[in-house]
Structures are given as C-alpha cells and as structure tokens.
Amino acid sequence: MSTYKKRQFRLRIVSLLSILVFLAVWYVCTAVLRLAPAYSLPDPITVFQSFVTKLSSRVPDGATLPQHIWESFKIAMAGYLMGVVIGVPLGIAMGWVSWVEKIVRPVFDFLKPIPPIALIPVMITLFGIGIESKACIIFFSTVIPSIVNSYSGIKQTSQIHLWVARTFGASNLQQLFTVAIPSALPMIFAGLRVAMGVSWMGLVAAELMGATRGIGYMISTARNLLRADIIIVGLLTLGFIGIVISLVFDLIEIKFVRGGK
Amino acid sequence: MKVAASIKNFLLSLAGFAAILLIWQLGVSFTSVGNLLPSPWAVAVRFVTMCTNTVGRKYTLPMHLLVSLRRVLIGFGLSAASGIVIGIAMGRSDLIRAIVRPLFELVRPIPGVAWIPMAIVWFGIGETAKIFIIFIGGFVNIVVNTFSGSRQVDENILNAAYMLGANKVQAFFKIVIPSCVPYIFSGLQVGLSTSWMAVLAAEMVSATEGVGWIITAGQQNADMPQILAGIIAIAVTGLALASLMRLLERVLCRWRVRGS
C-alpha cells in the first residue's frame, strides 16, 4: 500500500471513530449520567427502537412512518412538478424573447423577494389545510428558482456560439434548441436542485403549521406530547430523504447534463 | 446613452408594477376575487396605520421588524462566526475533515425549519429557541460554501509563497483567506436569506412579537390586510438585507465580483 492510500485509510478510520464517539458520548450523557430528561433528549438506543416501532405503529399521531413519508412525498412531488413544468419554460422564454421578459419581469420582481414561508397563512386562509394549500406553497417555492436559473442560464449563452449558428443559417428556434438550451442546461439543473431543497423546507414548515398527516405533522405532534424520540426519528428521516434526493439528482445530472461522464 | 437606457428600464418596470396593482384593484372591484383578497389600496392604508399604531399589545410594525432583525443578527452572527471557522478548518486539515464531516453530513440535509419542535422542547419558547433555529439555518450554508472555497485554493500560489519563505501563518492569512472570501460571501448571502426565512417560521410557530407573529396573528383574526401588509414588510426587509450583503461583498472583495 502506498503512503497516500495508507493515509486515506487511516482518515476513514478516524471518520468512523468520530461517529462512534459521538454516539457513545450521547449514550453516556443520556442513559448513564442522565444529564437530560428522556422527554428532552432520549438515548440513541431508545431513538432506534422508536424508529423500528414507528415503521408499523400508528401511535401517537394516527399514521405509520411510511404513511407520513408517502403523504409528504406526494404533496412535494405535486407542487414541485407543477413549479418546474411552468417555471423552466417561462424562464427560458424570458431569457430568449424580449417582450416576454418585459411583461413577466415586473410581476416576477414583485414576487421574488417574498419568502414562501410567509405565504403559508395566506394559503391556509384561501385553501384550508388540505393538499391544495401545501401544493401551492411548494409550487411557489419551486417556480422562483426554476425561473431565475433558466433565465440567467439562457442569458449567459455565449454570443459567439449564437453568431456561429446564425452564420450557418440557423433559424431563431434552431438557435434556441441547439445552442442556448443545451448550454443553459447545467444552470437550469442547479436551479432544479435548489428548488427541491427550498420546496422540502416549505413543505415541512407548512406541515408544522397545519396538517393532519406528513413528517412535519408527526414532528409537531411529538413535540406536543413531549416525545423527543419521535422528533429525532422525524429529523433523521428528513435528513435521509434529503440524501436520497440529492443522490437521484447526481445520477440524473451525470446521465443527462454531463453526457454520461 | 447608458443613463437614458437605465431610466427607460426603470420607467418600464415602474409601468409593469403599476399594471400589477391596476389588475389587482380591477380584479377586487369587479370579480369575486374581492371576497378573498383586499384591494391594494386597503393594504396600503393598513400598512401605514400599522406603522403608526400598535399591532398586538405593544409594538408598531417597525418595532416588530426590529425585534425580528435583532434575532436574525444574533443567530446569523453566531452561525457566520462558527461556520467560517469550521468550514476553513475542514477544508485545510485532513484530520479535522475526517472528524467533523460525517457529523456535519448528518445535520446538513435536515431542513432548518424542521428543528423548530426540537428547539422548543430543548429551549422552551423563548429567545434561545428562535436564535438556535436561525443559527442552524445559516450555519449549514456557510459551512458548505466556506469548505468548498477553502478546497479550491490554488496550490501553485501556495507553493510559490512557501518557496519565497512565507511561514504557515502568513500563507494562511495572505493566500488561503483572501481566496476563500468570494465563496464565504456566497455562503453568507444564502445563509442570510435562509436565516430570514427561519426567523419567520420560528415566529409563526411560537412568538408574541416579530413580523412572523404579525402574519399568524392576521391569520387567526382572518385579517387579510394585516397578513399582506406583513408580507410586504417582510419582502422589502429581505430585499434590503440581500442588497446590504451584496454591497458589503463589493466593498470587501472588489477583485472578484460574482455575476453583476
């Protein structure tokens, strides 16, 4: 083994130790020394047991963990897809066609600085606490980054490439589809990634404030019942879903944006 | 020529803005939208009365804004200070990266807002809980950006400095830090807007003052003008915070301004 490899291997071990030490300190502080009461910080083993029970048990919030995840996922996807399907073409049109930019830009500049979380009360007043209000909030949090990134992606197309295309007689639409959009793709994709993060945050906030199911609802019910173990299970579930989503995005990006590299 | 163009652009966006208000007003006056939304005029009047009269028990709208801003500044200050230090340490030392990264990766994907219930269980519903939530919201973005910035320091420049006799401390302050600054700023920029969102969420879940509270109080009284006036105040403040950060970036790293 080369020294470099040896060093990398040693660092891996340190990383592993770091997690183990973290869990051990957590366990000793809670289960052995009892520095914090169980309702505020349970020990890691209790949390793990709660996770396993929650997979199949409806106690205390009326649904199992997979049901909560599915409910949140459904709403997130509905709002997210709507936001992307409307936002990306609109952003591209804004970047390419100047009269669209002139019309949409002021509306957009007016809406852009409003944090989606601030809209939750408006949406709840207008649509109640059902799926519509949450999907609207996610739609709103998705559509803004989709537009911003598609717009600036198109705007950053190299003029020289466009000139070359024009010299060879490409029509306006050909220039858009063969030059501008492909070169804006990485930027658009970054927008979709940002949008996913923001919409997930908006969803959790919406579920904390008004819901009957979903991971945010599970966490806020657990808070009312002082079940910190379930809150931590919820947080870790959210983190895990975040990791899975970002892996899926990596795969799509490698396959479609960087041409399989 | 350039001045004329920018005046023209300004007038165009002013016209667009006026058009939105006009459509809104017409929609409220002549269609059933009026049952759900107040007119822009009503919101404007409400905005002015909220600035002069108290909303809730003791604060006017500007005072509520100051309360929220104070929370953001404390939380964001803490996350900036610790985030930059941890980010740079993780970027420049293999050992620290090996220790901190797995723990950080555990926290990173959890949306800041989701910490609200945990924060309330740990710290109660007082100031500490809100500052904790704002801290978490900003911290993650700042660490991620500072980390990637400090990984992208040009090794050639660093080696040149060592060859010319710079010691580790000099190399750190003269080369590593300056070349991280643009990345740190993009982290601070994102972190600040996330913190502003986090304070809203925290105040909406539990508070007795602050702009987030104004909105939820409006919702509880079915007082749409108050909600919308609150949203406008929040949007304008958010915009002002972002512009301030941008200005600071222009002043502090003039050699490399992102975008334009």
In contact, B85 and A187? CB cutoff 8 Å: no
- Tell me, what's the pLDDT at A156? 87
Q: What pLDDT does residue B259 have?
A: 46
Residue B123 CB: number of other CB atoms within 10 A? 16
User: A40-257 in CATH: which number?
Assistant: 1.10.3720.10
Rounded Cα distance between B20 and B253, Å, is 37
Interatomic CA distance for residues A179 and B18, integer angstroms: 36
A219: exposed, middle or buried (Cβ count in 10 Å: 0-12, 13-18, 19+):
buried
Angle at A234 between CA A125 and CA B108, to 5 degrees: 100
Q: In angstroms, what is the C-alpha Rg of chain B? A: 23
Q: Is A98 on the interface with B (CB under 8 A)?
A: no
CATH architecture of B38-252: Orthogonal Bundle (1.10)
Output the pLDDT for position B2: 65
Residue boundaries of the structural domains of chain A: 1-35, 40-257
Name every residue whose Cβ is closer than 8 Å to that of residue A93 and which is 6 or more positions away in sequence. A100, A104
Of B102, B118, B242, the CB nearest to A18: B102
CB pair distance less than 8 Å for B121 and A228 = yes
CB of A125 less than 8 A from some CB of B: yes
pLDDT at position A260 is 53
What pLDDT sits at residue B35?
74
User: Would you call A201 and B13 a contact, using CB atoms and an 8 Å cutoff?
Assistant: no
Taking the C-alpha atoms of residue B61 and residue B50, their distance in angstroms, rounded to an integer, is 6
Q: Minimal CA–CA distance to B159: which of B182, B181, B175?
A: B175
pLDDT, position B237 = 92
**What φ, ψ does residue B59 adopt, rounded to 5°?**
-110, 150
The crossing angle, in degrees rounded to 10, of helices B94-107 and B127-151 is 130
The closest CB to that of B227, out of A113, A122, A232, belongs to A122
pLDDT of residue A261: 52
Question: Is A121 in contact with B204 (Cβ distance < 8 A)?
Answer: yes
DSSP string for B11-57: HHHHHHHHHHHHHHHHHHHHSGGGGTS--HHHHHHHHHHHHHS-BTT
CA distance B147 to B159: 20
Scanning every residue of chain A, which has its alpha carbon at the shortest distance from the alpha carbon of B123?
A40
Are B115 and A216 within 8 A, CB to CB?
no
* B62: closest CA of chain A, how far (Å): 17
pLDDT string in tens for chain B (260-residue length)? 567 777 877 787 778 778 888 888 888 888 777 777 888 888 888 888 888 888 877 788 889 999 999 999 999 999 999 999 999 999 988 899 999 988 998 888 898 889 999 998 899 888 899 999 999 989 999 999 999 988 888 889 889 999 998 888 888 888 888 888 888 988 999 899 889 989 998 888 888 888 999 998 888 888 888 999 999 999 999 989 988 988 888 887 776 655 43
Decide if B227 and A12 are in contact by the 8 Å CB cutoff: no
Q: Which residues of A touch B138 (CB under 8 A)?
A: none
Supply the pLDDT for residue A218.
92
* Biggest distance spanned by C-alpha atoms of chain A: 77
| Contact indicator for B19, A106 with CB cutoff of 8 Å | yes
> Tokens 């919201």 correspond to what residue?
B137
Domain boundaries, chain B: 1-37, 38-252
pLDDT of residue B257: 53
Residue B135 is predicted with a pLDDT of 94
Give me the pLDDT at residue B86, please. 94
Which residues in chain A show pLDDT less than 50?
Answer: none
Tell me what pLDDT residue B258 has: 52
